Amino acid sequence: GESVGLHLPTLSVQEGDNSIINCAYSNSASDYFIWYKQESGKGPQFIIDIRSNMDKRQGQRVTVLLNKTVKHLSLQIAATQPGDSAVYFCASTGDYKLSFGAGTTVTVRA
Amino acid sequence: KAGVTQTPRYLIKTRGQQVTLSCSPISGHRSVSWYQQTPGQGLQFLFEYFSETQRNKGNFPGRFSGRQFSNSRSEMNVSTLELGDSALYLCASSSGGNQPQHFGDGTRLSIL
């Protein structure tokens, strides 16, 4: 079945630096990917998505890169701020459901 | 536009009881999905409904069931509660297809 995983469970980053969060997926048929941010006590919040016909998509301070050859996607956060501290999940779609990775906890150091 | 609303936010039950959780999707969204989130298993898919039809179901026992109403609101029910059912239950809605799912803040269910 589908499995989606993140490379590192935790990431500590200095405020103002760029953050990179990685994710690998197993189902080569996955054609839509989403990054979510989850803060304590809240549900996952949509950050950015990308379809399989693209390899890069940019949002406000965030960029998602998709490498279908190695089934890998990453989330880059520019100029990381304290409010970026949260758990980040990648998810892929298939059969009307999302398959989530385990999550990376990002901690921003002042 | 109002987001996904889940009620109640917190619930405490004892083993053997049953529980019903409610979800109101974003207006206009016809797809509603349910997920269970635990520290050990992460986010796991329970089921998805579109226009009152269940289109997919995850690997959970039959004690977990759901339904969707004509106004797209959804409920999930868990019968014969077990200690391991303690979790955050999340509902997400989307307009369908390859569109992002938007989540509510969940119902925290604790089983004593």
pLDDT digits over A90-106, tens only?
A: 999 877 888 998 899 99
Of the candidates B44, B48, B103, which has its C-beta nearest A44's C-beta?
B103
Q: What's the whole-number mean pLDDT along residues A36-40? A: 96
Contacts of A87 by beta carbon, 8 Å cutoff, 6+ apart: A37, A38, A39, A103, A104, A105, A106
Confidence class of residue A48 from pLDDT cuts 50, 70 and 90?
very high
Among B38, B54, B103, B108, which would you mutate to test the A interface (most chain A Cβ atoms within 10 Å of its Cβ)?
B103
CA–CA dist A56, A35 (Å, integer) = 13
Q: List beta partners, residue B64.
A: B78
Of the candidates B4, B50, B98, which has its C-beta nearest A31's C-beta?
B98
| C-beta atoms of A97 and B48 within 8 A | yes
Partners of residue A49 in chain B, C-beta under 8 Å? 100
Whole-number pLDDT of residue A1: 38
CA–CA dist B61, B42 (Å, integer) = 17
What residue ranges of chain B have pLDDT lower than 50? none
| C-beta atoms of A98 and B101 within 8 A | yes
